[in-house]
Amino acid sequence: MAIFKRTNGVEKRGFLARLGRDVSGNVFAMTAAAVVPMIGVVGGAIDASRMYLVRSRLQAACDSAVLAGRKAMVTSTYDASAQARANAMFNFNFQDPDFQTTGTTFTAAADANGKLNASAGTTIPMTLMKVFGFGNQTASVSCSADIQIPNIDIVFVLDVTGSMAEEINGTPKIVSLKAAAKNFFTTLKTQMDANGANAGQVRYGFVPYSQTTNGMDLFKASPDASRGELPMSQLVNQAEVESRVANFEATGSSQWIDDPATTPTVYQQKYDAGIADTIKPYVQSTVGGTIMSNNDCDNYSSNKSFSIDDNTGRRVYLYPQTSWPGNAGIGDNTLFLADGESAAQGDQPTTGNYYWEIIFSRASGPWEDNNGAKTSKYRTCTRNVTWTKYIRNVPQFKFKNWTYRPVTYDVSAFKTGSTIRYASAVSQVFIAPDAGPYTPVQLAAMANTTGLTINSFTWNGCLEERDTVAASTFAPIPSGALDLNFNAEGTSDPYRWRPIMDKLTYNRGQQPNVTSTTTIGSANHSCPTARMRNLNTMTQTEFDTYIDSLQPLGYTYLDIGMIWGLRLIAPQGMFASRNLVGPNGGQISRHIIFLTDGEPVSADTSISSYGLERVSGRITGSTGQTAATLHARRFQALCDAQRGTVAIWAIALGVSVTGNLSNCADPGRAYQANNASDLNNAFASIARDIADLRLVQ
């Protein structure tokens, strides 16, 4: 008999429950369900990335193709040669096998103005996205290229130092520079014309530099602002110069001495009044005195002349008559015109000052009139006149020595072209009006310059820089270095420039002042003959004529060249009104072409844009650095200050372009020219790059 146990039922229900609770096999089902969406996500990411890559490469290939095609166009026509060049460039940059694309096309055409427009397209097959029914995708791009030189500003900052006269392979470097610069103008113009470009405005500026720059054509009494000329008010009226003064001191004593060569002379003069009612020819002295009354023969004969003690201490008796005894021809009106003997007296002294003493006395015999009565107005009076010449040894102020020290000169007329006269030498013959110091200009302005060597000069156009500070580092540029602030105008004396007064500058060394009887020679100075020119349009003839004016002389100061290059071209600051935008609001492409044939060289005994460095120490101060080192650092700071706003091209002629120059130039824009051919190629390459193509779209 079978026995059924409840436990069997219980066990059955327990198994099913356990089975329901067991999830260890579910992962297989879940994984199977997730595979499809995962394929969609991964496949979409892969295909999307491929589409982005293909489109980017297609755009780059299109851009390169139109650039190459437009450059190959001789005129504004997209001819077969230009088309072949564009297609070749496109195919070089985009090929179907590289991207698994199909049916790629490139089509280009030029408009009436020569602008080359193109489009490119391709088909991109899908990979994993095919699983979801996505078919092939297409990508299309467009591109354009044109020659765009809307407005170009080019400032040539050119080394015209003495070393530019040296030869490379038998040709002076300055000659090679002139030829290469002229070819630059030709190359730029030819490139623009050949490409059929509507060039807009092209302006040229020039900064020939050595240890100074010449601002004669930049600062004008009647400036033309449209040509970038500045008023004379931006130059100082009072300039401090490392100059000198002449010192004078008194010689001799102040006393009267009888002239031993003169013997007192007695003249007896008889005056017959005739029918006149006054004694003739008596007149009142111009110096003062009492007019004698009529009929006063006694008084007239009793020495009624008077004495004068003036501020020189001399005692002179006046003779009240219009002529001297002995017909000397000197009357009261001329007696005191000169502090000494008159030329009319015929005995001009060689030393000292001469004076006359006139003494009147009664003659022997009675005074009587024609009636025998002393009161009659018809009478004859006789008197004796004694006159004696005296000499006085007065103090004379003669040259003692020179003191070499700073002197402030008035340059308000000098800067406009007026001549300055100055005494370059003083002899003991010259007598100053008083003791004390006199500047060379004050001496030359004396009424009597006998004993002086007089010279004259006019402004050569070279400029001394405005205020600055001696510093060792220039990152950032010190606020006190006003000269390195190339945006500021000369609206106050610290910011104004100073006309160099080389003929009145003397090198006293590093002492505050030097007093000596020995003449210290004037300081060495050289000024570029070629003057700075602001940015203006030029013809080839005008350009060539200017370039031919370059002459080599002086030392290499790179910073002063770059300062003025940036001043002329900067979009803000001194010339913002003409530099910010081009005609009709067009943009301006700005370029400085900086050329030198050597490292910075400073001569502290030569007058530069910072005066005499050895004397004034405007750059070195107490830095402990050499002037050449500091000028190089200042140059680099200037190059960095306008980075990105102005394109800087650097050319080293006959020297290495590494270091200071290569650091100054923009990347890829530093050239080393070892000879005339290299220099010409460098200028031509820069011209072509400036006139090169730019993408419109």
pLDDT at 684 over 50: yes
Per-residue pLDDT band at 114 (split at 50, 70, 90) = confident
Cα-based torsion angle of the residue sequence 117, 118, 119, 122 in order, rounded to the nearest 10 degrees = -170
11 inside domain: no
Q: Do 371 and 485 have their domain in common?
A: no
- Residue 440: which of 522, 545, 317, 351 has the closest Cα? 522
Q: What angle do helix axes 676-690 and 173-194 make, rounded to 10 degrees?
A: 30
Q: pLDDT of 635-657, one tens digit each?
A: 999 999 988 899 999 999 998 88
Own/partner pairs for 366-370, CB < 8 Å, 24+ apart?
367/297, 367/298, 367/301, 368/297, 369/297
266 shares a domain with 405: no
- DSSP secondary structure letters along 152-173: EEEEEEEE-SGGGGSEETTEEH
Assess whether pLDDT exceeds 50 at residue 662.
yes
Kindly report whether the peptide bond that precedes residue 494 is cis, defined as omega within 30 degrees of 0. Answer: no
What is the side-by-side strand order in the sheet with 611-612? 524-525, 606-608, 611-612
For the chain, give percent helix, strand, coil, nearest 5.
30, 30, 40
| Least confident piece of the model among 35-44, 52-61, 303-312, 360-369 | 303-312
Among 174-178, 371-375, 586-590, 672-676, the least confident range: 371-375
Q: Is the pLDDT of residue 44 over 60?
A: no
Q: How far apart are CA 587 and CA 582, in angstroms?
A: 6
Residue 8's pLDDT is what? 46
Residues in a beta bridge with 270: 382
CA angle 316, 320, 325 (to 5 degrees): 80
Same domain, 476 and 570: yes
Judge whether 13 lies within some domain: no
Question: Looking at the predicted structure, is the pLDDT value of residue 285 above 50?
Answer: no
Residue 456 lies in a domain: yes
Say whether pLDDT at 200 is over 80: no
Q: Is the pLDDT at 272 greater than 60, yes or no?
A: no
Spatial separation of the C-alpha atoms in residues 392 and 349, rounded to whole Å:
11
Q: Identify the pLDDT of residue 195.
A: 57
Which of 331, 364, 390 is the C-terminal boundary of a domain?
390
Q: How many domains does the chain have?
A: 4
User: Residue 494: which residues within 8 A CB-CB, separation 6 or more?
Assistant: 466, 467, 482
Task: With respect to residue 47, please indicate whether it lies within any of the assigned structural domains.
Answer: yes
When pLDDT is cut at 50, 70 and 90, the band that residue 625 belongs to is: very high
Greater model confidence, 497 or 132: 497
What count of Cα atoms within 13 Å lies in the side-chain half-sphere of residue 468?
A: 28
Most confident range, picked from 129-143, 266-280, 488-502:
488-502
Q: What's the whole-number mean pLDDT along residues 425-438?
A: 92
The answer, yes or no, to whether residue 319 has pLDDT greater than 80, is: no
283 domain residue, yes or no = yes
Residue 318 has pLDDT above 80, yes or no: no
* Cα gap 113→199, rounded to integer Å: 12
| pLDDT for res 208 | 98
Instruction: Examine the fold and report which residue of 130, 146, 162 is the final residue of a domain before the chain moves on.
Output: 146
Written in H, E and C, the secondary structure of 510-579 is CCCCEEECCCCCECEECCCCCCCEEEECCCHHHHHHHHHCCCCCCCCCHHHHHHHHHHHHCCCCCCHHHH
Tokens of 658: 């590494």
Give the pLDDT band of residue 342 (cuts 50, 70, 90): very low
Please, what is the average pLDDT of the chain?
Answer: 77
Which pLDDT tens digit goes with each residue over 66-104?
999 988 886 678 989 999 999 999 999 999 998 889 999
Question: pLDDT tens for residues 436-464?
Answer: 999 999 999 999 999 999 999 999 999 99
- What pLDDT score was predicted for residue 598? 83
Tell me whether strands 498-499 and 533-536 are parallel, antiparallel or unpaired.
unpaired
On whether residue 282 sits in a domain, the answer given is: yes
pLDDT value, residue 37: 55
Q: Is the pLDDT of residue 433 over 50?
A: yes
Preceding peptide of 528 cis, ω within 30°:
no
Helix (H) / strand (E) element for 19: namely helix 6-21
| Range with the poorest average pLDDT among 35-44, 344-353, 596-605 | 344-353
Higher pLDDT, 367 or 174: 174
Reported as a pLDDT band with limits 50, 70 and 90, residue 683 is very high
The pLDDT value given to residue 395: 64
Tell me if 401 sits within 8 A of 376, measured CB to CB.
Answer: no
SS3 590: strand
Weakest-pLDDT range from 157-166, 509-518, 568-577: 509-518
35-44, 128-137, 474-483 — which one is most confidently predicted on average? 474-483
Residue 7 lies in a domain: no
- Give DSSP secondary structure letters for 37-64: HHHHHHHHHHHHHHHHHHHHHHHHHHHH
pLDDT at 367 over 60: no
| In a shared domain, residues 326 and 431 | no
Residue with the larger pLDDT of the pair 537 and 693: 537
Q: Cα(432)–Cα(426) distance, rounded to whole angstroms?
A: 11
Higher pLDDT, 258 or 123: 123
**Least confident residue range of 312-321, 565-574, 599-608:** 312-321
For residues 493 and 601, membership in a common domain is answered with yes
Two tokens, residue 676: 């005339």
Q: Is residue 679 part of a domain?
A: no
Question: Look-up: residue for tokens 């791009």?
Answer: 141
**Does pLDDT of 536 surpass 90?**
yes
Domain at 567, CATH number: 3.40.50.410
559 and 667 fall within a common domain? yes
* Residue 123 scores a pLDDT above 60: yes
- Kindly state whether residues 60 and 141 are assigned to the same domain: yes
Q: Do 569 and 633 share a structural domain?
A: yes
630 and 486 in a common domain: yes
Q: Are 457 and 419 in contact (CB under 8 A)?
A: yes
- Considering only residues 675 and 36, tell me which one the structure prediction assigns the higher pLDDT: 675
The parent domain of residue 442 ranges over 230-250+395-462+500-521
What residue type is 321 in one-letter code?
Answer: Q
371 and 478 in a single domain? The answer is no
**Percent over 70 (pLDDT), the chain:** 69
Do residues 585 and 649 both lie within one domain? yes
The reply to whether 347 and 443 lie within a common domain is: no
Q: Is the pLDDT of residue 673 over 60?
A: yes
Question: Taking 80 as the threshold, does the pLDDT of residue 351 lie above it?
Answer: no
Which pLDDT value is given to residue 587? 83
Q: Final residue of a domain: which of 360, 390, 420?
A: 390
Asked whether the beta carbons of 398 and 432 are under 8 A apart, the reply is yes
Sign of the alpha-carbon torsion through 287, 291, 296, 299 = negative
Residue 307 has phi, psi (to 5 degrees) of: -110, 155
Quote the pLDDT of residue 389: 42
